[in-house]
Amino acid sequence: MSEATGSPWPGPAGLIPVTSGKAEDANVYNRAYLDRIHVEMRVIDSARPDLTTSVFGRTFSSPIMMPAFSHLNKVGEGGRTPMEEYARAARELGVLNWVGMEPDDEYARIAAVGAPTVRIIKPFADHDAILEQIEFAEKNNAVAVGLDIDHVVGTDGGYDVVDGIPLGPVTQRDLAAYAKAAGVPFVAKGVLSVSDARKAANAGCAAIVVSHHHGRIPFGVAPAQVLPRIREALEGSGVAILCDCGIDTGYDAYKVLALGADAVSVGRGILRPLLAEGTAGVVKKVCAMNEQLSELMLYTGVRDTRLFDPTVLYL
């Protein structure tokens, strides 16, 4: 039995693909790891599941959430605004929306769509800028706010610079200050270890997002791989554990939810339908994912999103 999950699969050990040392190897490993996980069947006494999920004290139609995209309006053709389009999809689907790095005026337009939205802020070297964006998000009815803690490092081995804006280090004390300043739940996005998960919880974060930011760290562990250890470490803390990276189907979502996530974001999986078809494309994709998730829940006797059981998983 795995110590991390209580299931017959060997937890963090397992498939290790050949890698080239590039950052995208983390995505290759993530995909391979998810695909290696298999599921046993438990159909006797099973019933059609309820996908309703609670996050930040609000109820949503599904544990599948929108991603924290940034700057997509820059690639919108013919006056299209993809950032608002996927926010409309979130509103139509009844799921939680996330927004990444956007200036205040752009964020305000996205928020005005009316979808329950979380604003994720970069770890600016200027801490006052972070506090100002937190305040602005609150004034625009953000459900929660958070910080991209995994965006500290640049490819030159120093602190990152995004859109000409210097980023800086993030300490546990910093997180505690931001969480205290926020009048809404605060999120640490980009947690990929038990160590950071515990520090985020100790800083007063209401939630973490287990993520490697689509392969920012070379040779990064798959979020699904470290997730059971994080779930065990935070058991009883009240901290919501969310997850992203490579979740493209409802089957992927099922595996990650069974491994310990409370909800999952789908990013690249909706990007193509978003850019091709706008809101309708995103709605179609997420509805298909919900059907797949419900299918696998029904196959394994999971009646609602509070009852996932990692012992159905094998690696």
Phi-psi category of 109—alpha, beta or left, where left has phi over 0 and alpha has psi -120 to 50? alpha
Rounded Cα distance, 34 and 279, in Å? 28
Tell me the C-alpha to C-alpha distance, in Å, between residue 15 and each of 4, 21, 39: 17, 17, 17
Tokens of 135: 């305040």
Residue 140 identity (one-letter amino acid)? N
pLDDT band at 305 (very low <50, low <70, confident <90, very high): very high
Evaluated on CA atoms 220, 221, 224, 226, the torsion sign reads: negative
Neighbours of 21 (CB within 10 A): 7
Task: Please provide the CATH number assigned to the domain covering 25-314.
Answer: 3.20.20.70
Q: What is the largest CA-CA distance in the chain?
A: 58
Phi, psi (deg, nearest 5) at residue 44: -70, 130
Query: How many residues belong to the chain?
Result: 315
Q: Are 142 and 120 in contact (CB under 8 A)?
A: no
pLDDT band at 27 (very low <50, low <70, confident <90, very high): confident
CA nearest to 195, candidates 222, 168, 234: 234
Average pLDDT, the chain: 92
The SS3 call for residue 86 is helix
Q: Is the pLDDT of residue 20 over 50?
A: no
List, for residues 107-145, the tens digit of each pLDDT value: 999 999 999 999 999 999 999 999 999 999 999 999 999
List, for residues 250-287, the tens digit of each pLDDT value: 999 999 999 999 999 999 999 999 999 999 999 999 99
Rounded Cα distance, 295 and 106, in Å? 38
Tell me the C-alpha to C-alpha distance, in Å, between residue 165 and each of 101, 103, 123, 125, 168: 11, 12, 10, 8, 10
The structure's pTM equals 0.92
The SS3 call for residue 51 is coil
Rounded Cα distance, 133 and 182, in Å? 10
List, for residues 73-87, the tens digit of each pLDDT value: 988 788 899 999 999
Buried b (16+ CB within 10 A) or exposed e, 33-45: bbeebeeeeeeee
Q: What is the CA radius of gyration of the chain?
A: 19
* H-state helical runs in 37-113: 82-93, 104-111
pLDDT band at 186 (very low <50, low <70, confident <90, very high): very high
